[in-house]
Structure 1
């Protein structure tokens, strides 16, 4: 679990802001896109009291929950645990790489806005918006490596005012893709876990892709954190769980599963978060309980 790591006391207001600014300075692409004045002023101003108070609730439901200000604070703080800094720097680095690759395309700022629009209230402790941005960045970078042409982000799908996260072309196929994060993937059997995932993808496809252009395909990318009570099941059946699947309820749509994987040392200290798909060699997964040590 990542947290504010102060040796004696909570930071002063100036320390709070200066550490976030120091962390942000390591990521010039991201710094160009946060609202003017962030984090001290402007329409995305952070409240030190609210942000620090949110630490009491942030991991109540999901130990992996993270926010942009926390990650930047850790990166910019000399008092933060080195392991926590490493995880934060690696994670924000994915966003920076994403922006470096596709930062000039239409809609790119819109898809990362949840990083600074997220609220810091008790009822928002399960908000997956931070990891949704990480998932989108990872999926886009994978597409770039595969040779896809990324057209734009937040692209209208033809269903009312609905938009897809990514609009791209690859191997002659035009695709509208939407990313979803499942904070606690679970099931009593691996087949049940897959069925739950497929139903989530079907619901997303029905909401977003019911009126796609006739020549286009819809894809739902489900990024999953295994729930603790289903952790061993999913860890032992990664390949089966991650197998792509058709979405029969919506024409020309398919789904794909990914897993967020915690990479840790022998005693469970988290150092990195990776993404695993059906083509990745199985990796040992880190259960939520060990993250909390």
Structure 2
């Protein structure tokens, strides 16, 4: 590392699959920034130790945080942006001298990617599968985009209820808890299903009713892989033809993180196309 080289990283577990170093290298090239961006594996209970270790290095400007550390990062940072407070999760750390600010760019990344795929969120009924940091990070942006109704499904109903209650503080009655019986009683089906779990990384499916696919919704999996995820494959088997993985969200949320670190907003289209061509 040169004396002038800036450092950033992405924390995760697992982390081998991350494309963030490639994305940020391509962003840095756009502005002739000398950036070293690396992957940082952390043990499940050792995020704080890993973050302390990384930010003890000179020239560190910030970090991205992926599953399962978005709640750990929330506790580690010195201060929170309004978006991170609202989301209740941190995916971006910005170093400001001795202060470490936590922000959340997941929601912006998701909404922008859906727009890039021609999905207008205004008035949609959306099912979010999962109630962890990834789900918490995107719900505020989905609300702001004008969605009609948000339903949350999680294996642990208590976590789903807690997330729904928190979400409804920002807009009354926009969020509900989904279970199999609730769908039978619903007046309308879902227009968009978002898998906010990490299960697709392991080739596993959330245990959710097949009825969610009956309205032929748009299906979005936050996980990205070289081929369609198991969740996307299942949706396709039920006739859902508009299935999107999380690669575009990754690029868009990374662009917002890059802006928070450097004050320059990169062009994302060419970077996304590069990644698609090199899956």
TM norm. shorter chain > 0.5: no
Q: TM-score, normalised by structure 2?
A: 0.34
